[in-house]
Amino acid sequence: MKKLLDEIYSPKELRLLKKQDLPQLAQELREFIINIVATKEGHLGASLGVIELTIAIHYVFNTPDDLLIWDVGHQAYGHKILTERKNIFNTNRQLHGISGFPKRDENKYDAFGVGHSSTSISAALGMAMASSLKGESKNHIAVIGDASIASGMAFEGLNHAGVSKANLLIILNDNAIGIDPSVGALKEYLTSVKQGMQKQDNIFEALNFNYSGPIDGHDIVNLISELNRLKTIKGPKLLHVVTKKGKGLKQAEDHQVIYHAPGKFNAVTGELINNNKVSPPKYQDVFGRTIVELAKINNKIVGITPAMPTGSSLKYMMELIPERAYDVGIAEQHAVTLAAGMATQGLIPFCNIYSTFLQRAYDQVIHDVALQNLPVIFCLDRSGLVGEDGATHHGVFDITFLRCIPNLIIFAPRNEIDLRNIMFTAQLGLNKPIVIRYPRGKGTTTDWEQPFQKLTIGKGAQLKKGTQLAILSVGTIAENIIRATLNLNVSHYDLKFIKPLDATLLHMIFREYKHLMTVEDNCVKGGFGSAILEFASEHNYKNDIKVLGVPDTFMQQGTIVQLQEQIGLDSASIRNTINKILNTTT
């Protein structure tokens, strides 16, 4: 039987359908996404929840002339399929495939590139103001979730838009959950609105928005009617739409956190496909289990995360010691300064933020923490290459943008035991801030729950002794070097600390070896290798130094192994580089 979706390549074909056929199209679109994500993996629940809304927007508005901006982009799979990418959607998030997020240079229907939350209102407002200045008559639509709209940047956009005359439509997709359940006073307010219990004036009307809703986000006919009405109204408007994340797949509806990005699953039943073999833990779980272990013996420890309790595994502390673990919502700036405030009062805050999201709180790290030399412990999850999420999520800049900040200690554990030990050491009292950066995914050690050992700040270690070349590394990239240097007459040193560097060890290395090589999973510009080059310059060493790392470009999506092969950071490539250096020295 011919499916409606088979004939849809772009919104042009979509708009030829009769309204009564659109529920069938919605069902087919859901099935299409489920069948591909079940085997290819990706973000599932968010896109399933906005299928009717996606169809309605493209049916009513003249995209791409009318500009549609998705917030974050987790929910944009249906949008991608309906906008000329149906036949290549099976390459989603894969090497040389399409991005898992809207991306301007990928398709004309992607009006703005997104991957971090809460940018859609500001971007859409900027576009609307530009259209006004150019005398253009366009619609500008921002779709934002109830978790994202609680972020400070979204409030800033609302505050400005409310006093503008911009032709802007904000669609609030309210499903009470982001990656984890939404938190905060605004979430409670929206819940009261949905239940018809709000006592205050409508907050959005108070900000000068023409507010409508809440309406059922799965009633496609009503959605189309309301969007058509809103097209005729000028100025800033907000449509409050209520949806269910994971709609159409029972498992995804019932387990919304798990099915945000579930991995492989059975497309018919929704059951996850599990690999039951024993393997090392994820680094995030080492953090999560260790902070609970430490917090039980040190009542000054608190945990903070900006809306990532599951992704960071702070959820374990939230379950077992909830009075000392805080999800502050999508508010990285607030999370950092909150931690700073706690530190002034003698608490020991572990502030867990993904590396790529700490970029959003750079001023707070400098002004509120480092300048005041407050002992905040930053745990940067997802540092280095993260894989299929691509350019918006790779944590490859943190060494560079943090290394220049005075008072900071920066540490990269080589394995799970190192991570536990630096967390233990940090909570003993360093009297200054520390950054601990570790990667996404699993480590290498199954017996990682070893007794704690206090580390000496600024002290590295020798992993392998040779005579021809000294290789210097920080972090988990050391495992690739260990494999690369089997049977080679080279030395390998794990510096552990990017700041402060182990000057005693480095002086010995520079005196003993003519040739050095640094390896890191950070960008080469200003990273660990740059720190070694600066050390050499400062002390007038003339050694030959080869720097390996992430090149000066934005890395796209692919598996971590594929991306490492692409830039010469896999074991085979590192070995080839070593051999080239050795061949030039003989």
Report the candidate in 69, 114, 72, 116 with the shortest Cα–Cα distance to residue 361: 116
Cα–Cα distance, 351 to 167 (Å, whole number): 39
Q: How far apart are CA 237 and CA 7, in angstroms?
A: 33
Helix axes 503-512, 528-538, angle to 10 degrees: 70
459 is catalytic: no
Q: Which of 495, 489, 540, 547 is nearest to 516 (CA)?
A: 547
Strand, helix or coil for residue 97: coil
Strand order in the sheet with 237-242: 67-70, 140-145, 168-174, 237-242, 210-216
Residues 6+ apart with CB under 8 A from 268: none
- Which of the residues 41, 52, 226, 332 is marked catalytic? 332
- Could you give phi then psi for residue 433, rounded to 5 degrees? -75, 150
Q: If you write DSSP's letter for every residue of 308-363 in order, what string do you get? A: -HHHHSTHHHHHHSGGGEEE--S-HHHHHHHHHHHHHTT-EEEEEEEHHHHGGGHH
* Cα 320 from Cα 38, distance rounded (Å): 33
Query: Looking at residue 106, what DSSP letter applies?
Result: T
> For residues 339 and 314, what is the distance between their CA atoms, to the nearest angstrom?
15
Residue tagged 């039943």 (tokens) = 269
The C-alpha angle with vertex 402 and arms to 396 and 405, in degrees rounded to 5, equals 165
Pick the catalytic residue from 30, 85, 187, 245.
245
Distance CA 250, CA 35 (A): 14
Q: Which residues, 6+ apart, have CB-to-CB distance to 494 below 8 Å?
A: 414, 460, 461, 462, 463, 473, 474, 478
* Beta-bridge partners for 216: 242
Q: Is 332 a catalytic residue?
A: yes
Residue in the structure block whose two tokens are 């600390």: 497
Whether 3 is catalytic is no
Please tell me what DSSP assigns to residue 82: I
Q: What's at 186, amino acid-wise?
A: L
What's the rounded Cα separation, in Å, for the pair 129 and 462?
58
Q: Which of 465, 493, 460 is nearest to 477 (CA)?
A: 493
Cα angle for residues 341, 158, 55 (degrees, 5° grid) = 120
In the set 187, 289, 360, 382, the catalytic residue is 360
> Is residue 253 a contact partner of residue 246, using CB atoms and an 8 Å limit?
yes
- Which residues belong to the active site? 245, 332, 360
